[in-house]
Amino acid sequence: MPPLVTVLIIGAGGRGKTYSYFAVHFPERMKVVGVVDPRAFPRKDLQEIHSLDESNVFDDWRAACERERFADAVVIATPDRLHKDPAVAFAKKGYHILLEKPMAVTPEDCEEIASTCKANSVMLAVCHIMRYHPASQKIKVPVIYVQIGFWHFAHSYVRGNWRNEAESTFSLLAKSCHDIDLINYWMGDKRCLKVSSFGNLSHFTKENKPEGAASRCLACPVEETCPYSAKKIYLEPAKKKRFYWPVSVLCRDGVCDIESVTEALRNGPYGRCVYECDNDVVSHQVVNMEFEGGATASFMMAAFTYKLGVRKTTIYGTKGELSYEAGGSVEIVDFLTQEKTAHRATKPAFIPMVFMAHGSADYYLMDSFVSALAVSSVSTNKDPSLIQTGPEETLNSHLLVFAAERSRKESRVIYLET
């Protein structure tokens, strides 16, 4: 049996907690030995879930980093702008790293993370989870359309943590670096030569506020006619005792009930009118790329969709057409026979419910990362194929994202350096 992999969780929010559950469901493979979070409740929550000793519970990652290395790896799931410093510090201490996407919010910080990990011979896996899905292994040269979902966009990118570029980052990097990474991966050795992008923030502006609307949904006389109503998104599910995401985001200190949700809507950011927020990130964007050999790829991100977080991929070839919707089968139409065939990826017999989001890609990521660490701990021969989103691959795809955003802001085609 492979050796047990020990990890320190840095950032005990939704993503950090999800990754930590791999230790709960597969205790023979991974063990959480410490947690870092400045917030008391999430920190205590993970401490209890994993039965952690008080000496390995921290409110600042610097205190954990000052210690002698006491885990094989760190899982860094801090806010986007707080990725670089802990990643660099723990790499220098010899910890392997699972880093939530995006890698960082500037090209320079991404480059520093990548170079530090390589210089210290540590394994880095960035959480571009979609690359680990079995169906992603079967696809090349795409057109990708991402449907964010109308209320999801309002929750995360109008009222929520990723609404403002100065506080977080631009939406293409925050939401869709997954997708640009997939395109770059599917293109193989072909290098992207040039990129163009267009997009803007539409609808969620003060100019589009309905006549008579209030500043908060709880007191709004036209709330019933608004699809983005906070009462519809949060309060109605709470009344049915559905306190999972996104309602859970409103619950402080683990208290989830009608009273706490109502109070959050009355005074917190999620109760604001979507037309009076301080959001400035784009609500839709297209990216076009040309690669070596003349191959092209296109990407579109759209906020105003009914389906939530669905990725649609289409590939147009000389002998057929391929289409795939995340979570479904890969469908291929043969131009010669005009026959359609469906191919489903093989799945493990058991995937825990906590890893079912994103088409179970969270599970495949953790399985690959833990397997890679188990191999490296018993052998000097590492298997790089187990880590598909290492420092160099991730840096290259992030640089494409930065180039696309530069194209959008400067209204010009960006020619990439050789």
Task: Give the closest residue to 248 by CA, choosing from 261, 239, 236, 259.
Answer: 261
Q: How many CB atoms lie within 10 A of CB 130?
A: 22
- How far is 78 from 38, CA to CA, in rounded Å? 10
pLDDT class of 371 with cuts at 50, 70, 90: very high
For 375-395, what is the mean pLDDT?
73
> Between β-strands 143-147 and 340-343, what pairing exists: parallel, antiparallel or unpaired?
unpaired
pLDDT class of 350 with cuts at 50, 70, 90: confident
Contact at 8 Å (CB) between 160 and 248?
Answer: no
Contact at 8 Å (CB) between 301 and 285?
Answer: yes
Whether pLDDT at 141 is above 70: no
pLDDT class of 392 with cuts at 50, 70, 90: very high
Q: What is the pTM of this model?
A: 0.91
Tokens of 352: 């825990």
Contact at 8 Å (CB) between 298 and 285?
Answer: no
For 50-63, what is the mean pLDDT?
98
Q: How many CB atoms lie within 10 A of CB 413?
A: 13
What is the chain's mean pLDDT, rounded?
Answer: 92
Whether pLDDT at 405 is above 60: yes
For 112-121, what is the mean pLDDT?
97
Question: Residue 309: its pLDDT value, please?
Answer: 80
Whether pLDDT at 10 is above 70: yes
For 238-261, what is the mean pLDDT?
90
Whether pLDDT at 294 is above 50: yes
Tokens of 329: 């089968």
Amino acid identity of 396? N
pLDDT class of 59 with cuts at 50, 70, 90: very high
Whether pLDDT at 51 is above 90: yes
Whether pLDDT at 342 is above 60: yes
For 246-255, what is the mean pLDDT?
86
- pLDDT above 90 covers a percentage of the chain that reads 78
Question: Residue 174: its pLDDT value, please?
Answer: 96
Question: Residue 317: its pLDDT value, please?
Answer: 86
Task: Give the closest residue to 162 by CA, choosing from 310, 282, 309.
Answer: 282
For 45-63, what is the mean pLDDT?
97
Whether pLDDT at 180 is above 80: yes
> Is the peptide bond between 227 and the residue preceding it cis, with omega within 30 degrees of 0?
no
Task: Give the closest residue to 166 by CA, choosing from 21, 295, 281.
Answer: 281
Higher pLDDT, 303 or 310: 303
Higher pLDDT, 349 or 396: 396
Whether pLDDT at 184 is above 70: yes
- How far is 192 from 402, CA to CA, in rounded Å? 13
At 334 the three-state DSSP class reads: strand
For 386-395, what is the mean pLDDT?
92
> Between β-strands 96-99 and 330-334, what pairing exists: parallel, antiparallel or unpaired?
unpaired
Q: Which of 94-108, 264-278, 366-380 has the lowest mean pLDDT?
A: 366-380
Whether pLDDT at 109 is above 60: yes
- How far is 39 from 36, CA to CA, in rounded Å? 9
For 345-361, what is the mean pLDDT?
82
Any residues with CB less than 8 A from the CB of 204 and at least 6 apart, and which?
Answer: 154, 158, 274, 275, 277, 279, 283
Whether pLDDT at 79 is above 60: yes
Q: How many CA atoms lie within 13 A of 407 on its CB side?
A: 23
For 177-199, what is the mean pLDDT?
93
Tokens of 175: 């939401």
For 44-63, give the DSSP string: HHHHHHTT--GGGEESSHHH
Whether pLDDT at 379 is above 80: no
- pLDDT above 70 covers a percentage of the chain that reads 95
Most confident segment among 131-140, 353-362, 381-390, 407-416: 407-416
Q: In Å, how far from its chain's centre is CA 341?
A: 31
